[in-house]
Amino acid sequence: MDRLDKLNLPADIKKLDKSELYDLCHELRQLMIQSVSKTGGHLASNLGVVELTVALHCVFDTAFDRLVFDVGHQSYVHKLLTGRYDRFHTLRQFGGLSGFPKPSESKHDAFIAGHASNSISVGLGMARARTLSRRDYSVISVIGDGALTGGLAYEALNDTGESGEPLIVILNDNGMSITPNVGGMAKYLSKQRIKPSYAAFKKKYRRLMEKLPGGRHIYRFTHGVKSAFKQALLHCSMFEEMGLQYAGPIDGHDLRDLIEALSWAKSLGEPVLIHVITRKGKGYIYSEKTPDVYHSVNSFDHKKGVLPIATGNACFSTIFGEELLKLAGQDFRVCAITAAMTGGTGLTEFAGKFPDRFFDVGIAEGHAAAMAAGMASQEMIPVFAVYSTFLQRSYDMLLHDVALSNLHVVFAVDRAGLVGADGETHQGIYDVGYLQTVPNMKILSPASFSELREMLRHAVLALDGPVVVRYPKSAEGRYKDGFIQNGSFSFARCLREGSDLTLVTYGINVNTALDAADILQERGISAEIIKLNYISPIDIDTVSASLRKTGRLLVLEECAEAGCVGERIAAYLAQNAMALKSLRLLNLGSRFIPQGSIDKLREMCGIDTSGVVRAAVEDCHMMHGSLSAGTDAGARVEDERGIPNNEETEDAAEMEDTGDPDEAGDADITVKPADAPAIAAADIGGEQGT
């Protein structure tokens, strides 16, 4: 990587000739292949945008101009060209570079990204702010054809054309969603209109017509004739009908054409869309053949190009797909819906066997939820398989279209909890809080493959109204029991009896609770484990019965604190004046969680086995008296660390180095004597992140 080592990037990129630029592109590809094969990440999409990204840096200065990526998983080349080459080996690692654009990481990252279809909206906002503040910089939004399946992108395009704001939209089309224009004349006209001479003539002609008497009418007439002629030859006129200039299709791997088109767009001074055709996975034979396989990869042998064979590769996603396939075979009403995540949600086999009942709607989660409601209203049983982080985009439809009519839609919420290397934008830690606000919603949380099978069957065939079954991607742990016990199911279950502490949890965190209980037993502490099968509604009777025996409550969850199960249990106890010796909520606090391995993040947040053991030991050895949950008891509950909720998650790596368990982010409370001054509200949260 001699050139990358020697260049002062991105400044030096403007000094290179075309031959040197192509050499640079080759080096960038080789570096990404070698590095991503070790760290994992989004490979094929980044290999496809090498020339496009290099061309952008030849024309623009991203320290001054605003470059907005849609989704952002294709920003690796941009990172390498903007001073992060030396840290690229830390990509997606704990304390390392994010796999997505991140303004706190570099001034060259204009806006954080992770979800789809928002780049044009964000870019237009920046353009309007530029105009209002009378500044002068270019705004460029890069959006893929996949993200263009989201309705938000069309809302933004419509507003952009109407606004007249200078904004450059680059449509990165890898040929999967949008059909390129065909024919020699179409290609000829596209090339002609991006030439500087054409743009200069157009501007002069418009100014001349504005000065002549009746010139505006002449301009409108000639412009109409030109538009009609162009529409007859260039069949992609949708963008121009929205008010944007259009150029394309352009070969996304031809630096000369790319630089010429970008320079033209920069000089135009009005909204413009440049349609660029790229090849996903370009430059690496294995990813060119199967770009979908190399879209997001774990570590692999880049010389052989063979992804490692997973040992025991069953995970909750694959089990879900298998069971839904069985259900569809038994009931013709069962349909599967996904939002551009067929393989990720385990639905590939379903799509092949029941193509008439499988619907991939593209990156359109709101549409998927509303469509599911329509299907349910006509007595079908739609199952919408969606990642937790993307279900957020459907919240209005959950309320208005599904729950309001109490329609039987099943939401299979995949990637629930921490997801690891994709970081803040993808952690599935908010659904517990917002889903429980939806009236009529039932939420089940399986802890094993058997439970997932049985809970899914129960949700599809036995329940009515909206139902959520939430689960992680991971494999199951030591807990392997089923949901059905002795021929019936329960909302909650006591897995292990104890006398000193009630440990309430759900989902795969049951494994952590069981491991912690074993260690606590060795230390003379008897923990009773209550496993919640439903987290909405909560079986408060089973929890209360355990608390009357132990007097201490610890709730373990892998979710944000706001709206967590522990908060709801604590509220019930307060309303019913139930006195406890201690109450502690272990969750992820009120902050964004950075990238890193799931084990490392659990350790950082204090919800791993050692964190649970530490919290339980502290609570059981507490000598501060009892906590009265009654409103008149005068109990004071506060964060014993006194840390304000505005700590930056960027300091996560520093937390690891300190070794201070109180910096681990567990959402705990310390009970003060009952005669302490009362406060209006209890702060039981961790640090607030960025």
The answer to whether residue 280 is catalytic is yes
Beta strands in 361-416 (DSSP E): 381-387, 410-414
Amino acid identity at 38: K
Compute the distance between CA of residue 366 and CA of residue 447 in angstroms, rounded to an integer. Answer: 28
Whether the Cβ atoms of residue 340 and residue 362 lie closer than 8 Å to each other: yes
DSSP string over 291-344: TTTTSSB-S-BTTTTBPPPPTT---HHHHHHHHHHHHHHH-TTEEEEESS-TTT
Length of the chain counted residue by residue: 690
C-alpha 651, offset from chain centre: 21
383 SS3 class: strand
User: What is the C-alpha to C-alpha distance for residues 522 and 609, in angstroms, rounded to an integer?
Assistant: 14
Which one from 66, 84, 130, 280 is the annotated catalytic residue? 280
Instruction: Give the phi and the psi of residue 284 in degrees, each rounded to 5.
Output: -135, 110
What are the C-alpha distances in Å from 622 to residues 15, 153, 554, 613? 68, 55, 13, 14
Q: Is 304 a catalytic residue?
A: no
Token digits of residue 196: 């500087």
Biggest CA–CA distance in the chain, Å, is 97
Judged by DSSP in three states, 114 sits in coil
454 is annotated as an active-site residue: no
Question: Which residue is catalytic, options 29, 79, 393, 614?
Answer: 393
* End-to-end Cα spacing for the chain: 35
Four-point Cα dihedral 70, 647, 470, 398, nearest 10: -60
Question: Active site residue: 27, 51, 105, 365, which one?
Answer: 365
CB 645 within 8 A of CB 550: no
User: Looking at this protein, which amino acid is placed at residue 637?
Assistant: V
- Residues with a catalytic annotation lie at 280, 365, 393
